[in-house]
Amino acid sequence: MAIPEKVTLVEVGPRDGFQLEPKIIPTDLKLEMITRLAASGLKYIQVASFVNPRRVPQMADADDLVRRLPQMPSVTFFGLALNAVGVERAWLSGLKCIEVSISASDAHSRRNAGLSYASALREGENMASIAAAAGMTVTASVQCAFGCVFEGEISMSRVLDAARMFTAAGVARLTLADTTGMGTPPAVERMLREFDTANLDLPVGLHLHDTRGLGLVNAAVGLRCGVSFFDTALGGMGGCPFVPGAAGNIATEDTAYLMSAMGVETGVDWKAVASCTRRLSAFLGRDLPGKLYRMA
């Protein structure tokens, strides 16, 4: 398959990147980062997850944050929900777009959402239905698509079953998430070839973590398989609060640089993103996993 001429980087730093930080990031600083990230050329920004604040304290301000977002018609701000309550909170906050997410791993699903895989499938369909009925644009993701530290290898049939459910539910696009960073280049290629064969008629993207140092390699493989949108996070922030040792996402600035080096347009000024990363690194008082922000 031909490499796309242009890809979309979906910034998930304000949600996936911030959620693990023990030092609470003030809402004003979150808004500053979101505004600056949008100004860098990012058109899709995941701003918060609507989850239990007792489990993820960093997201306790999600509703207030959304109400204070800047008016930027060219940028899609969206949230993440793991259950119907989260979808309803997102809608009440004023968001027009929501990502609904379930895990292909039974063990991870029980830890992350309190649901078995079978129950998560039903909840995923329910979430998509509620969001669509509310007039929201609905996207979806399947967590642990490339493996799970609790279960090991995940059956491809589970991932495809979730994808078929979301396709039938009418979501706009689907993201395959390497939540625990277990994906390898051959595994990513096999999965994408399988999805191509399945003819789901649904755009498929990648959410890659760099736990084992293969994040950008897997992104390059995805690109060569025709993937045209990738979740990224400024500075390579992120992980999973319920997966021990999970590293961050592929860094937005590093991914934008990689795509440019491969002749692929992103519309993102990686140096502007790197500036955001330096600001956040200074606030947190530590280095972040990304590479290029130290050089720009």
From the candidates 144, 225, 240, 276, give the one annotated as an active-site residue. Answer: 240
Q: How far is CA 117 from CA 37, 128, 137, 221, 246, in A?
A: 35, 16, 24, 28, 21
Closest C-alpha among 255, 292, 263 to residue 277: 292
Residue 49 forms beta bridges with which residues?
80
Burial (CB count within 10 angstroms: exposed 0-12, middle 13-18, buried 19+), residue 243: buried
CA–CA gap between residue 91 and residue 29 (Å, rounded) = 23
The 3-class SS string of 75-121 reads: CEEEEEECCHHHHHHHHHHCCCEEEEEEECCHHHHHHHHCCCHHHHH
CA–CA gap between residue 235 and residue 189 (Å, rounded) = 26
Task: Tell me, yes or no, if 225 is annotated catalytic.
Answer: no
Spatial CB neighbours of 50, under 8 Å, sequence gap ≥ 6? 59, 62, 63, 79, 80, 81, 85, 86, 87, 89, 90, 93
Closest C-alpha among 249, 240, 277 to residue 9: 249
As annotated, the active-site residues are: 240
